[in-house]
Chains A and B, each alone.
Chain A
Amino acid sequence: MLTFIVMRTLQMVPPLFGLTIILFVLLRIGGDPVAHLVHPDATPAEIQQVREAYGFDRPWVEQYFRQLTLIVTGDFGDSYRYRAPAMPLVLERLPATLELALASIAIALVIAIPAGILSAVYQNSWLDVLVTVTSTLGRAMPNFWIGIMLILVVAVQLRWLPVAGRDGLAHLILPAITLGTSLATTIARLLRSSLLEIMRREFMTTARAKGLRYWTVVLRHGLRNALVASVTVLGLQVAWLLGGSVIVEEVFAWPGIGRLMVRSVLLRDLTLVQAGVLVFALIVMVANLLVDVTYAFINPRIRFS
Chain B
Amino acid sequence: MNAGKVLRSLLRSPVGLIGALLVVGAFVSALGAGWFSAIDPTQFHLRNRLAPPVWAGGTWEFPLGTDQLGRDIASRLMHGARVSLMVGVFGVAVSTLIGVTIGLLAGYYRGWVDAVLSRLIDTFMAIPFIVLALAVIAVIGPQGGDNITLLVIVLGVSGWIDFARVVRGETLGVVELEYVEAVRALGQNRFWILVRHVLPNVSASIIVLVTLNVASVIIAESSLSFLGLGVQPPTVTWGLMLADGRDHLATSWWLATFPGIAITLTTLGMILLGDWLRDVLDPRMMT
**Residues of B51-83 contacting chain A, CB below 8 A:** none
Contact present for A268 and B128 (CB under 8 Å): no
Contact present for A239 and B267 (CB under 8 Å): no
Contact present for B128 and A243 (CB under 8 Å): yes
Contact present for A140 and B264 (CB under 8 Å): yes
Q: Mark A1-40, 1 if CB is under 8 A from B, else 0.
A: 0000000000100111011001100110111000000000
Nearest CB on A from B123, distance (A): 4
Given contacts A14-B119, A15-B119, contact A145 B242 (CB under 8 A): yes
Nearest CB on A from B178, distance (A): 22
Contact present for A19 and B126 (CB under 8 Å): yes
Chain B residues within 8 Å of A266, by CB? 228-229
Contact present for B136 and A239 (CB under 8 Å): no
Contact present for B127 and A152 (CB under 8 Å): no
Contact present for B128 and A18 (CB under 8 Å): no
Given contacts A136-B272, A247-B226, contact A18 B119 (CB under 8 A): yes
Contact present for B126 and A281 (CB under 8 Å): yes
Contact present for A15 and B126 (CB under 8 Å): yes
Contact of A218 with B by CB under 8 A: no
Identify which of A143, A144, A280 contacts B126 (C-beta below 8 A).
A280
- For chain A, which range describes its interface: under 10, 10 to 19, 20 to 34, or 35 or more residues? 35 or more
Rounded to whole angstroms, the CA-CA distance of A138 and B133 in the bound complex is 22
**Residues of A192-228 contacting chain B, CB below 8 A:** 193
Contact of A250 with B by CB under 8 A: yes
Contact present for A144 and B268 (CB under 8 Å): no
CB-based A-B contact count at 8 angstroms: 136
Q: Mark B122-143, 1 if CB is under 8 A from A, else 0.
A: 1111111111001111111110
Nearest CB on A from B229, distance (A): 8
Contact present for A142 and B135 (CB under 8 Å): no
**Residues of B191-250 contacting chain A, CB below 8 A:** 215, 219, 222-223, 226-229, 239, 242, 246, 249-250
Nearest CB on B from A26, distance (A): 5
Contact of A60 with B by CB under 8 A: no
Contact present for A30 and B128 (CB under 8 Å): no
Chain A residues within 8 Å of B124, by CB? 22
Q: List 18 A-B contacts (CB under 8 A).
A: A15-B119, A16-B123, A26-B138, A30-B139, A30-B142, A136-B271, A139-B271, A140-B263, A141-B264, A142-B242, A144-B222, A145-B222, A145-B242, A190-B286, A247-B130, A284-B125, A284-B128, A285-B126
By a beta-carbon cutoff of 8 Å, the part of chain A in contact with chain B is: 11, 14-16, 18-19, 22-23, 26-27, 29-31, 136-137, 139-145, 148, 152, 156, 190, 193, 229, 233, 239-240, 242-244, 246-247, 250, 261-262, 265-266, 268, 273, 277, 280-282, 284-285
Give 9 nearest A-B pairs by CB, closest first: A243-B128, A281-B126, A30-B139, A15-B123, A140-B267, A140-B268, A18-B123, A243-B130, A284-B126
Given contacts A30-B141, A141-B264, A145-B242, 10 further A-B contacts (CB under 8 A): A22-B123, A31-B142, A141-B219, A142-B239, A152-B250, A190-B286, A247-B130, A250-B226, A262-B227, A282-B126
